[in-house]
Structure 1
Amino acid sequence: MRKIKITAIIATVLCLSGSGCKESFLDEVPLDRFSPENLLVDEAGFETAVVALYQAAREEHTLGGVNFDYMNLGTDVAVWGRPDSRGFKDYTLLNSQFDAVNTYWDWAYRNMIRQSNLILDNINKPNVTLSPAAKASFSGQAKFFRAYAYNILATLYGGVPIVESQISEPKFDFQRSTKLEVLQFVRKDLEEAAVDLPAVTNESNGRIYKAAANHLLSEVYLSLGMETGDVTFYDKSIAAATTVISGAAGKYQLMTQRFGDLTRPGDVFSDLFWTNQQNRASGNLEVIWAWQFESFTLGGGTGTTAGINGGNNHLRLWAMEYDRIRTPNAVANISSDSLQRGIGVLIPTNYFKYDIWKLDPKDMRNSSYNIRREFYYDNPADPQYFGKKILTKKDAQGRLVVALENGTLTTQILDTARMYYPWIRKIDGLAYNNDVTAGRTSNDIIVMRLAETYLLRAEAYFRKGDKTLAAADLNTIRTRARAKLITAQDVTVDFILDERARELIIEEPRRRTLARMGVLYDRVRKYNPASAGTIKPNNALWPLPLKVIDSNTGFKLDQNPGYN
Structure 2
Amino acid sequence: MKLSFKYISYFLLLVLGLNLTLTSCTSDLDVTPKDDDEFLSETFFQDPASYKQVLAKLYSGLFVGGNDGDGKPDISGIGGDFSSYLRLLFVMQEFTTDEAIIAWADGTLPTMNTQKWAPANEFLYGVYSRAFYEISLSNEFLRQTTDEKLDARAVDANLKAEIANFRAEARFLRAFSYYNLMDLFGNVPITTENDPVGFYYPEQKTRAEVFAFIESELKDLDASLVASKANEYGRIDKTAAKFLLAQIYLNAKVYTGTEMYGEAAKLATDVINNSGYTIANVPYKNLFAADNNTNGAQSEFIFPIVADGNAIRPTGGGMSFILHASIGGSMDAAAQGMDGGWQGIRTRKEFVSLFPDETATADKRGTFYTDGQNLSITNVGTFTDGYAVTKFTNVKSDGSKAQRNDIPDTDFPMFRLSDMYLMYAECAVRGAAGADMGTAVGYVNQLRTRANATAITAGNMNLNFILDERGRELFWECHRRTDLIRFGKFTGGDKVWEWKGGVQSGSATASYRNLMPIPATAIQANPTLKQNTGY
Query: Normalized against structure 2, the TM-score is what?
Result: 0.79
- CA distance in 2 between counterparts of 1:371 and 1:198 reads 39
Residues 452-472 of structure 1: per-residue CA shift (max 9 Å, x gap) = 121122223333445714433
| 1:6 aligns to 2:9 (yes or no) | yes
Paired residues of 2:168 and 2:221 also in contact (CA < 8 A): yes
Q: How many angstroms apart in 1 are the aligned matches of 2:46 and 2:270?
A: 33
Of 517, 529, 532, which aligns to 1:557? 529
Counterpart among 255, 280, 285 of residue 280 in structure 2: 255
Match of 1:72 among 94, 97, 100: 94
Q: Which of these residues, 106, 110, 120, is aligned with residue 129 of structure 2?
A: 106
Kindly indicate whether the alpha-carbon contact (under 8 Å) linking 2:239 and 2:302 is maintained by their aligned counterparts in 1.
yes
Trace 1:351-370 onto structure 2 (pairs within 5 A): 351-357=350-356, 362-366=361-365, 370=367
Q: Which position in structure 1 is the counterpart of 2:398? A: none
| AA in 1 matched with 2:110 | R
Asked if 1:53 corresponds to 2:58, the answer is: yes
Name the counterpart of 2:450.
Answer: 480
CA RMSD of aligned residues (A): 3.8
Aligned with residue 304 of structure 2, among 270, 285, 290: 290
Q: Do residues 176 (structure 1) and 150 (structure 2) align?
A: no
The structural deviation recorded for 1:319 is: 2.7
- The amino acid that maps onto 2:534 is G
Question: What's the CA shift for 1:89?
Answer: 3.2
Q: Is the 8 A contact 1:293 1:312 kept in 2?
A: no
SS at match of 1:197: coil
Distance 1:559 1:38, change over 3 A: same
Corresponding residue SS for 1:448: strand
**1:497-541 C-alpha deviation (Å, 9 max, x unpaired):** 211111111123422333355431147842334433373211111
Matched letter for residue 280 of structure 2: M
Asked whether the 8 Å contact 2:102–2:380 carries over to 1, the reply is no
Shift of the 309–460 alpha-carbon distance from structure 1 to 2, 3 Å rule, reads closer
| Residues 1:227 and 1:507: Cα distance change in structure 2 (over 3 Å) | closer
AA matched with 1:117: N
The answer for the alignment partner of 1:220 in structure 2 is 248
Cα distance in 2 for residues equivalent to 1:348 and 1:283? 25
Q: For residues 314 and 86 of structure 1, do their structure 2 counterparts lie closer, same or farther at Cα, with a shift above 3 Å needed?
A: same
- Structure 1 letter corresponding to 2:484: L
Contact 1:206–1:292 under 8 Å retained in 2: yes
Deviation at 1:478, TM superposition (A): 1.8
Runs of 4+ in 1 over 6 A off after TM superposition: 64-68, 413-416
Unaligned runs of 5+ in 2: 23-29, 66-79, 396-400
1:270 aligns with 285
**498-507 or 529-538: which moved more?**
529-538
> Is the contact made by 1:117 and 1:164 (CA closer than 8 Å) also made in structure 2?
yes
Task: Please tell me whether the aligned partners of residues 345 and 388 of structure 2 are also in contact (alpha carbons under 8 angstroms).
Answer: no
Contact 2:115 2:500 (C-alpha < 8 Å) held by counterparts? no
* Equivalent in 427, 447, 452 of residue 460 of structure 1: 427
What does residue 472 of structure 2 align with? 502
Of 81, 99, 113 in structure 2, the residue corresponding to residue 89 of structure 1 is 113
The secondary structure found in structure 1 opposite 2:246 is helix
Q: CA deviation at 1:57?
A: 1.9
SS at match of 2:413: strand
Per-residue CA deviations over 1:297-323 (Å, capped at 9, x if unaligned) read: 3xx2464xxxx3886221222233226
Query: Conserved in 2, the CA contact under 8 Å of 1:80 and 1:89?
Result: yes
Cα distance in 2, alignment partners of residues 238 and 534 from structure 1: 32
Specify which of 182, 205, 208 is matched with residue 233 of structure 2: 205
1:342 Cα deviation after fit: 2.8
CA distance, structure 2, for counterparts of residue 543 and residue 498 of structure 1:
28
Correspondence 1:236 to 2:263: yes
Aligned pairs (5 A) from 1:75-154 = 75-81=97-103, 86-92=110-116, 94-110=117-133, 112-128=134-150, 129=155, 130-131=157-158, 133-154=161-182
Distance 2:376 2:142 in 1: 59
1:330-369 correspondence to structure 2 within 5 Å? 335-338=333-336, 340=338, 341-357=340-356, 362-366=361-365
Q: Report if aligned partners of 2:279, 2:299 keep a CA contact under 8 Å in 1.
A: yes
Gaps of 5+ in 1: 23-29, 259-267, 324-333, 376-389, 401-412
SS in 2 for 1:520: coil
CA contact (8 A) 2:307 2:411 kept: yes
Counterpart contact for 1:141–1:197, Cα < 8 Å: yes
2:62 touches 2:318 (CA, 8 Å); kept in 1?
A: no
* Alpha-carbon contact 2:168-2:224 (below 8 Å) kept: yes
Q: Distance in 1 between matches of 2:362 and 2:144?
A: 51
Residues 359-411 of structure 1, C-alpha deviation per residue, up to 9 Å, x if partnerless? 998444246xx4444x5xxxxxxxxxxxxxx8x9x9xxx999xxxxxxxxxxx
- Three-state SS of the structure 1 residue aligned to 2:302 is strand
User: What CA distance in whole angstroms lies between the structure 2 residues aligned with 1:83 and 1:227?
Assistant: 32
AA at the equivalent of 1:77: E
Residue 148 of structure 2: SS of its match in structure 1? coil
CA distance in 1, matches of 2:320, 2:392: 9
- Residues 16-31 of structure 1: matches in 2 within 5 Å? 19-20=31-32
Aligned AA for 1:313? Answer: F
- Say yes or no: does 1:449 pair with 2:409: no
Q: 2:185 touches 2:517 (CA, 8 Å); kept in 1?
A: yes
Amino acid across the alignment from 1:7 = Y
Which residue in the other structure is 1:35 paired with?
Answer: 40
Query: Which one of the candidate residues 499, 503, 519 is aligned to 2:489?
Result: 519
Deviation at 1:90, TM superposition (A): 3.6
* SS class of match (2:221): helix
CA offset digits 1:254-313 (Å, max 9, x no partner): 122x4xxxxxxxxx111221112x22575631111222222233xx2464xxxx388622
**Conserved in 1, the CA contact under 8 Å of 2:337 and 2:394?**
no
**Residues 90 and 534 of structure 1 are in contact (CA less than 8 Å); yes or no, is this contact kept in structure 2?**
no
SS at match of 1:419: coil
- Identity among equivalent positions (%) equals 23
The whole-number CA distance in structure 2 between the counterparts of 1:415 and 1:158 is 30
Residue identity matched to 1:418: F
Aligned CA distance change for structure 1 residues 447 and 228 (closer, same or farther; 3 Å): closer
